A = this chain, B = another copy of it.
């Protein structure tokens, strides 16, 4: 069945709206914030954690047994290992790989100088101007998948764009996967919360891509958190056994609130995250050498008033720059950052924090950026307007990264100086006429009109404009084509699994 569906899927997969580049090919140099001495000190700390402190692999005897068999030092469930061995295992992971999309024009390359933006992941709540804040549901989820599909600055669908809380936890992964696979043709992630759900994800991807393609290529990835500090639970190792043993991608992200899940210092938290993720990378390479792996880092600062996580602050900003450099040294693709904020609404706080967070994320060279759009309230809430507002700004980062500064002869415009006198203007000169249409990135939601025009148009703030644009995008949405046979096979799979599974809300 899977093979049949796959055999004919390439007939008509291109259509209007595919962006010029399915991901960002960076030409801008990297920003190296650490000198050699700082790097060595941080790498020494990573090695010390791996060798002397150790990382616990808990509640998964099979993982511990593999480590024991391969010669690691096991003490209870704490794994310690020579750092050079762990580094040599990490070196088996590809520094660049492609995640194939259902539409081949949308396949993304992850690692190296490539950067991929994906929306928020995991929020139980959603918010928009009309509906306010409410639990996420499948309707909202589908609309968020549609918006992500439509927006040219989002390269990847992510996965849990919001939690569809109206579907039992035991079954919602099936509906989410079906939505990503049919309402969009961008690449996406799969479920990880339980081994059988990870398996369902890989099985459904096999229906779309076929067994052979899947054996040779990454077509789906799982994204998992370690239980910082220093703890890898079975959610991680089981996801690795499902995704990595099939050659599919695994993104492993220590989430560290400095002072809670890591020391209250940024350097120590960065090193700890690096050690945790590298130990999982090594585990993955023991399972299947060469399996695609993304080293993740999610570091948050803390409010002293309440202990709440804070975002867009100098500590996570500098951590983005530092982890970017460390990941490049390790030769591993990096996930970090995003358009992060603690604000509850799409106000200036949300935008300041998201922009500082995302500016550093993009300059840091993050290869895969989850939460690049839509994040509100420390990740508890997906904003419909916020999704589109953030995505609008991503186009600016895309231009900075991919184009840098063009100093070609045409860019230097010497001919224009033959036409324009001192105090004159370049508005009508030949160079301007040749170039003005591509000279500037103009985000759809930024209003640059004068105050009179803006007032005449109703004095709308950016939220109001984003709200109108969300509605317009959803009204104009058309699903990308999919072969009937593939769709039916997916529907059959989902129906069968829903019959087999109990309704469970945990």
Contacts and interface: CB of A to CB of B under 8 A. Distances in A.
A33 B260 contact: no
A187 to B, nearest CB: 25
A450 interface: yes
Contacts of A345: 459, 461
A389 B352 contact: yes
B265 A435 contact: yes
A272 to B, nearest CB: 9
A448 B268 CA distance: 23
19 contacts: A227-B423, A262-B426, A263-B413, A263-B416, A264-B439, A265-B411, A265-B431, A265-B439, A267-B407, A268-B411, A302-B440, A303-B442, A314-B403, A315-B439, A342-B446, A343-B446, A348-B463, A351-B352, A380-B451
**Interface residue tally on A, bucketed by range:** 35 or more
A471 interface: no
A266 interface: yes
Contacts of A34: 405, 407
Contact of A411 (B58, B267, B343, B450): B267
B305 A58 contact: no
A425 B260 contact: yes
Copies in the complex: 2
Given A404-B318, A446-B349, A426 B264 contact: yes
Nearest to A42: B407
A83 B455 CA distance: 49
A416 B34 CA distance: 24
A445 interface: yes
Given A231-B423, A342-B448, A407 B259 contact: no
Interface string A290-321: 00000000000111111111101111011101
Given A308-B450, A344-B451, A432 B231 contact: no
A206 interface: no
A455 B406 CA distance: 48
A462 B417 contact: no
